[in-house]
């Protein structure tokens, strides 16, 4: 078979098994199928400029104003054309005054030092100015062009662009682009002005966002502002569209902000407490002896059964003692068998039912204990994500070795990389379920959430376990597990993601 | 620069009542104003002059280092303002403190609670620090 034919048949294979994967399912709207679905476009600055210019042109045609004025209006009214047109038709003077394009009081010519002189004096540099070398905005404050350009230069150096005001004392009239640009002498300054103005326009536009990735110039466009995941096509960074921070479903922007602030404030306290107490994890295995050393050796634990020292070198929280083969959970050090069964309890925080009757001190301790429960799990999954990145490197190495040894082809092994990517995605969601659960009020909804969270967690650890030990023969089993995990994640998000 | 020279000439010819502002002999951008100093930055008049009191002043809008909290010296500066207007504004601020927008919180507090006591301390400070030397 020639190479060409080989490629062709591969495509065929992919089409059949990949593309037609859910062939028996009716084609449904992805929005209904995937709770995380969000349609965005990644635009370059030229594309954004074209988009903005289209709006400017439309507005300037419909209300008959200069493009520069239209741009300023759009900027001040957050690019809401309908509102501008309606307001402008109703009372154009009121609208122009409200956005400081026209002065509130009718303009009056500056008359100082003008008596009897044919030439006026510029009130800033006190030098005489000929009428053709003087200019003013709608407010009538007249200054010589040299002073204007110097004023703009200083303002632009301070990062101002669309907000540059008239030089007159307590005059708030804004200088539009077509007034500023011709007065700028150096091309470098013009460039800077355009650049600052461009970011101002993007920031005021409700459908546009700068990609928060380092040195990334991409602008993300979305029809509505929702807390959904966006992946930049250029720098590949992933973030929440609404708040611009790391993606955080199922937790909402406000809650994750509270949580991160709390963690930043409390993590040192948490470190201190976990470093100075040995019984942070209250569990039946506590009686067995010191379970987990913390502090510097955070990735070391003692096997709850044979007490041998174990280092955690993978992301999976399902641990197996190499010595006695005892299976246990890294988080609670409980026996893994109880995790695998229907009722997984490790992710759930059990509140003391009599807490209302306890002393203030006990209540404070309970509150801290509750916070630490969620924080430790949040932190642990974050560490697991990092460890699983290392696992990915190991997987690549393993695939390399297998292929070189003649066990399967590159194509045969691709599923393992897909599984690792899926694992990362699911664990990331799982990590973000903890702040959500922390702030969720007790009740049936929380019970349901924690049940689903527990289910997801159990399946994720199963998947992680299987990936770390995957041989080629496991493929069917692993793909089955991938499907289960993704279904659990989707179910949780469908039920609880409300953005 | 011409503007500064012209402004200085006018300031010397018709001084602001109650304030003496003398340009420094070596630097035309620097003015000795009674118990304060006034410096015209490179960008003047596009950016505001820098003014600071050299002696201790007991005033809610002036801090320990003599820095003044005055809107026209900050965001409300307009290139159309002049040294003359700045001096007048500072004079006005001295006679009418604004304890609701304080720079020195302790002074502002006393000013609101016990104005006559605050004024007494202010007088004392002026006698001790400004008139003593």
| pLDDT, tens only, A381-407 | 999 898 888 888 888 888 888 888 888
Which residues in chain A have Cβ-Cβ distances shorter than 8 Å to B81? 169
> pLDDT tens-digit profile of A112-140?
444 444 567 888 888 888 888 888 888 88
Of A122, A166, A316, A329, which residue is the catalytic one? A316
Distance from the A66 Cα atom to the nearest Cα atom in chain B, whole angstroms: 27
Assign B82 to helix, strand or coil: coil
Distance in angstroms (rounded) separating the CA atoms of residues A129 and A112: 13
pLDDT at A270 over 80: no
pLDDT at A192 over 90: yes
Residue A27's pLDDT band (cuts 50, 70, 90): low
Distance from the A151 Cα atom to the nearest Cα atom in chain B, whole angstroms: 5
Report in angstroms the alpha-carbon separations of B102 from A171, B61, B69. Answer: 25, 5, 8
Whether B45 has its CB under 8 Å from any CB of chain A: the answer is yes
Distance from the B83 Cα atom to the nearest Cα atom in chain A, whole angstroms: 12
pLDDT of res. A267 = 65
- Answer yes or no: do A126 and B7 touch at CB < 8 A: yes
CB pairs under 8 A between A and B: 40
The order of strands in the sheet holding A219-222 is A40-43, A219-222, A208-210
pLDDT of res. A20 = 43
pLDDT of res. A50 = 93
Distance from the A148 Cα atom to the nearest Cα atom in chain B, whole angstroms: 9
pLDDT of res. A48 = 93
pLDDT of res. A226 = 85
Residue A499's pLDDT band (cuts 50, 70, 90): low
pLDDT at A278 over 70: no
pLDDT of res. B39 = 92
> pLDDT tens-digit profile of A44-100?
989 999 999 999 999 999 988 889 989 999 998 999 999 999 988 888 888 888 888
pLDDT of res. A342 = 52
Query: Pick the residue with more confidence: A151 or A271?
Result: A151
pLDDT of res. A367 = 81
Which residues in chain B have Cβ-Cβ distances shorter than 8 Å to A123? 80
Angle ∠(A233,A239,A245) on CA atoms, nearest 5: 145
pLDDT of res. A485 = 92
> pLDDT tens-digit profile of A9-26?
444 444 444 444 444 445
Which residues in chain B have Cβ-Cβ distances shorter than 8 Å to A147? 46, 79
Active site includes B17?
no
Residue A197's pLDDT band (cuts 50, 70, 90): very high
Task: Please give the mean pLDDT across all residues of chain B.
Answer: 86
pLDDT of res. A148 = 92
Whether A147 has its CB under 8 Å from any CB of chain B: the answer is yes
pLDDT of res. A274 = 58
pLDDT at A4 over 80: no
Distance in angstroms (rounded) separating the CA atoms of residues A333 and A271: 19
Whether B41 has its CB under 8 Å from any CB of chain A: the answer is no
pLDDT of res. A434 = 92
Closest-approach residue (CA) in chain A for B79: A167
pLDDT at B37 over 80: yes
Report in angstroms the alpha-carbon separations of A87 from A74, A96, A340, A384. Answer: 12, 10, 63, 55
The continuous run of DSSP H or E covering B8 comes out as: helix B2-13
Q: Measured between CB atoms, which of B47, B79, B85 is closest to A147? A: B79
pTM above 0.80, yes or no: no
> pLDDT tens-digit profile of A423-436?
999 999 999 999 99
Q: Which of B46, B76, B85 to mutate to test the interface with A (most CBs of A within 10 A)?
A: B46
Distance in angstroms (rounded) separating the CA atoms of residues A362 and A272: 19
pLDDT of res. A359 = 67
pLDDT of res. A296 = 40
> pLDDT tens-digit profile of B45-57?
888 999 999 888 8
Query: Pick the residue with more confidence: A416 or A20?
Result: A416
Q: What is the DSSP letter of B54?
A: S
The answer to whether A78 and A208 are in contact (CB under 8 A) is no
pLDDT of res. A283 = 36
Q: Measured between CB atoms, which of A153, A154, A170 is closest to B78? A: A170
The answer to whether A339 and A330 are in contact (CB under 8 A) is no
State the virtual CA torsion across A31, A37, A39, A42 in degrees, nearest 10: -160
Q: Which of A113, A134, A158, A167 to mutate to test the interface with B (most CBs of B within 10 A)?
A: A167
Distance from the A70 Cα atom to the nearest Cα atom in chain B, whole angstroms: 26
Q: Write out the two tokens for A352.
A: 């003391």
Closest-approach residue (CA) in chain B for A142: B80
- CB contacts under 8 A, A 160-179 vs B, are 167-171
Task: Please give the mean pLDDT across all residues of chain A.
Answer: 80
- CB contacts under 8 A, B 3-22 vs A, are 3, 6-7
pLDDT at A144 over 80: yes
Whether B96 has its CB under 8 Å from any CB of chain A: the answer is no
> pLDDT tens-digit profile of A326-385?
888 877 777 877 765 555 667 777 777 676 666 666 777 778 888 888 988 999 999 989
How far, in whole angstroms, is CA B55 from its chain's centroid? 11
Of B16, B19, B22, B69, which residue is the catalytic one? B69
């Amino acid at each position: 078979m020639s190479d060409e034919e080989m490629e062709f048949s591969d495509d065929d294979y992919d089409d059949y098994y990949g593309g037609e994967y859910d062939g028996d399912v009716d084609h449904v709207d992805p929005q209904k199928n995937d709770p995380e679905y969000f349609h965005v476009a990644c635009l370059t600055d030229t594309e954004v400029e074209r988009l903005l210019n289209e709006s400017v042109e439309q507005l300037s045609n419909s209300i008959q104003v200069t493009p520069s004025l239209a741009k300023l209006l759009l900027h001040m009214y957050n690019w809401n054309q309908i509102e501008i047109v309606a307001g402008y038709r109703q009372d154009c003077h009121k609208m122009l005054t409200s956005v400081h394009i026209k002065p509130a009081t009718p303009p009056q010519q500056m008359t100082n030092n003008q008596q009897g002189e044919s030439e006026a004096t510029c009130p800033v540099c006190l030098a005489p100015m000929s009428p053709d070398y003087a200019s003013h905005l709608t407010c009538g404050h007249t200054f010589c062009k040299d002073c204007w350009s110097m004023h703009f230069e200083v303002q632009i150096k301070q990062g101002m662009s669309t907000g540059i005001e008239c030089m007159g004392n307590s005059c708030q009239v804004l200088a539009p682009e077509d007034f500023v640009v011709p007065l700028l002498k150096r091309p470098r300054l013009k460039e800077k002005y355009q650049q600052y103005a461009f970011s101002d326009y993007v920031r005021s536009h409700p459908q546009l966002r700068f990609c928060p990735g380092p040195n990334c110039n991409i602008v993300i466009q979305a029809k509505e502002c929702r807390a959904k995941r966006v992946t930049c096509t250029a720098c590949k960074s992933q973030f929440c569209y609404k708040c611009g921070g790391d993606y955080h479903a199922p937790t909402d922007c406000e809650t994750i902000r509270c949580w991160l602030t709390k963690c930043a404030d409390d993590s040192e306290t948490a470190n201190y407490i976990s470093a100075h107490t040995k019984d942070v994890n209250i569990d039946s295995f506590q009686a067995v002896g010191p379970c987990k050393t913390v502090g510097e050796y955070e990735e070391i634990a003692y096997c709850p059964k044979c007490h041998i020292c174990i280092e955690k070198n993978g992301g999976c929280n399902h641990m197996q003692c190499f010595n006695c083969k005892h299976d246990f959970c890294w988080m609670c050090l409980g026996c893994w068998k109880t995790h695998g069964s229907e009722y997984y309890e490790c992710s759930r925080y059990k509140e003391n039912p009599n807490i209302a009757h306890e002393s203030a001190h006990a209540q404070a301790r309970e509150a801290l204990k509750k916070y630490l429960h969620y924080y430790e799990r949040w932190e642990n999954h974050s560490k697991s994500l990092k460890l699983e990145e290392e696992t990915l490197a190991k997987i690549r190495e393993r695939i390399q070795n297998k292929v070189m040894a003649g066990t399967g082809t590159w194509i045969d092994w691709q599923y393992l990389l897909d599984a690792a990517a899926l694992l990362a995605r699911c664990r990331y969601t799982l990590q973000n379920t903890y702040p959500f659960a922390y702030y969720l009020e007790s009740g049936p909804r929380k019970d349901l959430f924690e049940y689903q969270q527990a289910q997801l967690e159990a399946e994720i650890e199963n998947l992680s376990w299987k990936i770390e030990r995957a041989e080629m023969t496991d493929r069917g089993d692993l793909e089955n597990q991938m499907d289960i995990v993704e279904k659990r994640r989707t179910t949780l998000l469908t039920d609880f993601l409300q953005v | 620069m011409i503007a500064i020279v012209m402004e200085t000439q006018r300031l010397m010819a018709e001084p602001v009542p109650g304030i003496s502002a003398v340009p420094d002999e070596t630097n035309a951008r620097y003015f000795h104003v009674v118990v304060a100093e006034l410096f015209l930055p490179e960008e003047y008049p596009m950016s505001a002059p820098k003014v600071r009191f050299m002696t201790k002043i007991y005033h809610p809008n002036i801090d320990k280092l003599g820095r003044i909290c005055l809107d026209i010296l900050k965001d409300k500066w307009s290139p159309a303002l002049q040294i003359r207007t700045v001096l007048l504004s500072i004079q006005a601020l001295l006679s009418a403190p604004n304890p609701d927008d304080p720079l020195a919180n302790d002074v502002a507090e006393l000013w609101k609670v016990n104005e006559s006591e605050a004024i007494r301390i202010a007088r004392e400070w002026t006698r001790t620090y400004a008139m003593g030397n």
